[in-house]
C-alpha cells in the first residue's frame, strides 16, 4: 500500500507529544474511515509499519502514527509527487531542488520534506538530509526523531532505531507509548527480544506506563523465541495489574502454548478470557484448531468448531482449511468429507491440494467402506473439471479404487485421461487395470493396455503376464498367448504360465 493512501485511510491515528515550541502549522489532523477528523501532532511512520502490531495481537483502540493537519498532509503529498517526478533521485539533486524553493525555514518544513522522502521510499536520502540538519540552523524536535526512527526501521537497522530513541530522551523529547510500542513490536518480530525488553525499560525512564498493546508485542516476542512460561507469567502479572488484558493478549499466549504442544492449556486460557467477559474472535479459535491438528487431535477441533458457533463466532476459510487438513492428515476421512461439504455449502474455496488429498483418502477407505467410492468419484470429477486439476498420484489411487470397485471401464477412461494430461502412469497402475480387465474376460483390452505400458517404458509384473496368458489359454487364443509370452521374455521376465499347444 502506498504510504500516502494508508495514512489517509488508516482509522487508527496516534497522538504524539507536541514539540516544546510548536509552529502555527503544527495543529494537524487525520481523517478516519468514518469521516471524522482527529487531532494529532505527530508525523507518520512508513506504510508497512503504520500498525504498531498486527491484527493478531493489537487492540482496535491502539493509535497509529498519522498526519497532523489536512493542509500539511496535502503539502507532504505535493512534496512526494515532486520527488517522484525527478528524473533521478540522487540526494544532491533532491536537496538542491528543495533548497532553491526555500523549504527549510522552519523545523516543521524540514520535517515535511523528511516525511515526504519516507513516503517516496527514500529512507537513505531522508537520513542524509537529517545528517545535514545543523547546516540549516535547525534543531530536531520530537517529529524529526520519530521520522528518523521510521527510516531506520525501513532499513531494518533496529539498533540505530533504538539509539535514536535514546537520543530523543537525552534531548528532552520523551517518546510516547506509541513510539516505544512501535520499536518494541519491530524488535519482537525480528526475534530480538532482549533489545525489545531494553526498549521496554525506557517506559519507566520517561514516566509512562505501558499499555496492553505493548504487552501484547512482548508476549508475541516471548512466544516467538520459545519462552512460553515467561509469557504466561507476564499474562498473570497483567491480570493483577490495573491494565485490562484484551483477547489479543490471551491469543498471543495461546498461540505460544499451541506451538509447543500444549493446546489444552491454550483452551484453558480461552475459557479464562471468556470468564473475564472477553469475546474470543476467529483468530483465537484458529489458534486452537492449529494446535489440536499439530498434536494429531483433529477430532478435538470438531468440538471447538461447535463451541465457536455456539458463541456466535463465525468460522472463516482458515478455520475450515486448518481443520480439513488436520482431519485428512490423521486419517479422519469421513469427518473431513463432512467439513469439505460444509465449506462448499458456505461458499469457501477449497485448496486444490486438499481436494486431491481428500480424493485419495476416500479411495483408500473405499476398499472397506464401499459407499465412499461414490463420494470419491463425485469429488474426483469436480476436481478434474475444475481449475486446480488432478495430481498424478491421485489418478493412480483413483484408478486402483475403480478397478477394485469393479468399475473397470471408468478406470480405463481415466488411464487414458491421465496420459493425455502428460502423466506417465506407474507400473502398478497398469497392473491394476490389466488384472481387472482379465477378471472381466476383456483380454483384448488387457493386451492393448500391456502394449501401452510397453510404449511408456513400463515393465508389467510377472503376475500380470501370468494372469493374461492363463486367460488367453482358457479362451483358446494360443497366438495371442504366444505373443504375450514372447513379450515377457524380451523384457527379461519368464512367466510361470506358458501358451498351451
User: Tell me: the pLDDT tens digits for 303-325?
Assistant: 999 999 999 999 999 999 999 99
* CA proximity to 357, closest of 391, 387, 382, 388: 391
d(CA 359, CA 374): 11
Cell of 408: 473397470
Grid cell for residue 14: 496516534
pLDDT at 54: 37
User: For residue 203, what pLDDT is reported?
Assistant: 76
pLDDT at 101: 61
3-state secondary structure of 267: helix
More confident residue, 3 or 231: 231
SS3 readout for 202-259: HHHHCCCCCCHHHHHHHHHHHHHCCCHHHHHHHHHHHHHCCCCCCHHHHHHHHHHHHH
For the cut 90, the answer to whether the pLDDT of residue 10 exceeds it is no
Residues 146, 150, 151, 153: what is their CA dihedral angle, to the nearest 10 degrees? 140
Collect all residues with Cβ–Cβ distance below 8 Å to 34 and sequence separation of at least 6. Answer: 11
CA-to-CA dists, residue 492 to 461, 481, 488, angstroms: 11, 17, 7
Least confident of 215-229, 398-412, 459-473: 459-473
Q: Which residue has the higher pLDDT, 151 or 173?
A: 151
CA distances from 468 to 15, 378, 425, 435 (A): 83, 32, 20, 8
How confident is the model over 376-400, as pLDDT tens digits? 999 999 998 887 789 999 999 999 9
Taking residue 478's Cβ as centre, other Cβ atoms within 10 Å add up to: 13
DSSP character at residue 437: H
pTM score:
0.72
Beta bridge partners of 31: 37
What is the grid cell recorded at 22?
510548536
23 pLDDT exceeds 70? no
Q: Which residues, 6 or more positions from 486, have their beta carbon under 8 angstroms from its beta carbon?
A: none
Provide DSSP, 65-132: ---S-HHHHHHHHHHHHHHHHSS---HHHHHHHHHHTTTTSSHHHHHHHHHHHHHTT-HHHHHHHHHT
The DSSP secondary structure of 290-343, one letter per residue, reads HHHHHTT-HHHHHHHHHHHHHTT----HHHHHHHHHHHHHTT-HHHHHHHHHHH
**Phi, psi angle pair for 260, to nearest 5°:** -110, 20
The number of residues in the chain equals 501
Q: 52: pLDDT confidence band, cut at 50, 70 and 90?
A: very low
| pLDDT at residue 408, rounded to an integer | 95
- List the grid coordinates of 434: 490389466
Amino acid at each position: 500500500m502506498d504510504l500516502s493512501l494508508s495514512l489517509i485511510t488508516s482509522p487508527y491515528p496516534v497522538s504524539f507529544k507536541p514539540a516544546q515550541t510548536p509552529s502555527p502549522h503544527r495543529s494537524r489532523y487525520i481523517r478516519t474511515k468514518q469521516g471524522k477528523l482527529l487531532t494529532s501532532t505527530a508525523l507518520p511512520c512508513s506504510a508497512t509499519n503504520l500498525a504498531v502490531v498486527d491484527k493478531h495481537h493489537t487492540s482496535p483502540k491502539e493509535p497509529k502514527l498519522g498526519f497532523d493537519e489536512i493542509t500539511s498532509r496535502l503539502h507532504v503529498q505535493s512534496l512526494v509527487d515532486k520527488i517522484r517526478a525527478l528524473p533521478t533521485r540522487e540526494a544532491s539533486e533532491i536537496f538542491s531542488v528543495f533548497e532553491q524553493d526555500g523549504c527549510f525555514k522552519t523545523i516543521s518544513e524540514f520535517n515535511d520534506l523528511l516525511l515526504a522522502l519516507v513516503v517516496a521510499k527514500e529512507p537513505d536520502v531522508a537520513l542524509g538530509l537529517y545528517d545535514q540538519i545543523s547546516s540549516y540552523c535547525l534543531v530536531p524536535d520530537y517529529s524529526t526523531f520519530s521520522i528518523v526512527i521510521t527510516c531506520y526501521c525501513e532499513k531494518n537497522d533496529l539498533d540505530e532505531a533504538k539509539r535514536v530513541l535514546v537520543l530523543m530522551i537525552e534531548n528532552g523529547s520523551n517518546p510516547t507509548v506509541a513510539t516505544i510500542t512501535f520499536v518494541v513490536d519491530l524488535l519482537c518480530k525480528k526475534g530480538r527480544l532482549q533489545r525489545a525488553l531494553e526498549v521496554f525499560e525506557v517506559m519507566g525512564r520517561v514516566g509512562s506506563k505501558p499499555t496492553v498493546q505493548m504487552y501484547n508485542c512482548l508476549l508475541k516476542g516471548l512466544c516467538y523465541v520459545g519462552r512460553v512460561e515467561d509469557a504466561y507469567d507476564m499474562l498473570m502479572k497483567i491480570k493483577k495489574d490495573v491494565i485490562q488484558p484484551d483477547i489479543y493478549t490471551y491469543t498471543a499466549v495461546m498461540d505460544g502454548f499451541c506451538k509447543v504442544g500444549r493446546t489444552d492449556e491454550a483452551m484453558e486460557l480461552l475459557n479464562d478470557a471468556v470468564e473475564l467477559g472477553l469475546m474470543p474472535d476467529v483468530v483465537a479459535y484458529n489458534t486452537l484448531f492449529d494446535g489440536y491438528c499439530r498434536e494429531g487431535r483433529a477430532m478435538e477441533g470438531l468440538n471447538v468448531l461447535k463451541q465457536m458457533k455456539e458463541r456466535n463466532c463465525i468460522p472463516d476459510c482458515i478455520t475450515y482449511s486448518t481443520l480439513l487438513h488436520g482431519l485428512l492428515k490423521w486419517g479422519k476421512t469421513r469427518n473431513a468429507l463432512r467439513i469439505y461439504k460444509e465449506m462448499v455449502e458456505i461458499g469457501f474455496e477449497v485448496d486444490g491440494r486438499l481436494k486431491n488429498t481428500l480424493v485419495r483418502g476416500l479411495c483408500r477407505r473405499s476398499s472397506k467402506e464401499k459407499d465412499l467410492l461414490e463420494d470419491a468419484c463425485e469429488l474426483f470429477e469436480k476436481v478434474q473439471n475444475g481449475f486446480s486439476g488432478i495430481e498424478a498420484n491421485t489418478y493412480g489411487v483413483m484408478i486402483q479404487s475403480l478397478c477394485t470397485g469393479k468399475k473397470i471401464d471408468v478406470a480405463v477412461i481415466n488411464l487414458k485421461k491421465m496420459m493425455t494430461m502428460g502423466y506417465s502412469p506407474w507400473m502398478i497402475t497398469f497392473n491394476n487395470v490389466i488384472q481387472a480387465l482379465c477378471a472381466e474376460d476383456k483380454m483384448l483390452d488387457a493386451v492393448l493396455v500391456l502394449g501401452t505400458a510397453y510404449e511408456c517404458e513400463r515393465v508389467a509384473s510377472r503376475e500380470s503376464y501370468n494372469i493374461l496368458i492363463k486367460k488367453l489359454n482358457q479362451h483358446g487364443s494360443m497366438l495371442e498367448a504366444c505373443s504375450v509370452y514372447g513379450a515377457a521374455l524380451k523384457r527379461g521376465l519368464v512367466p510361470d504360465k506358458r501358451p498351451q499347444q
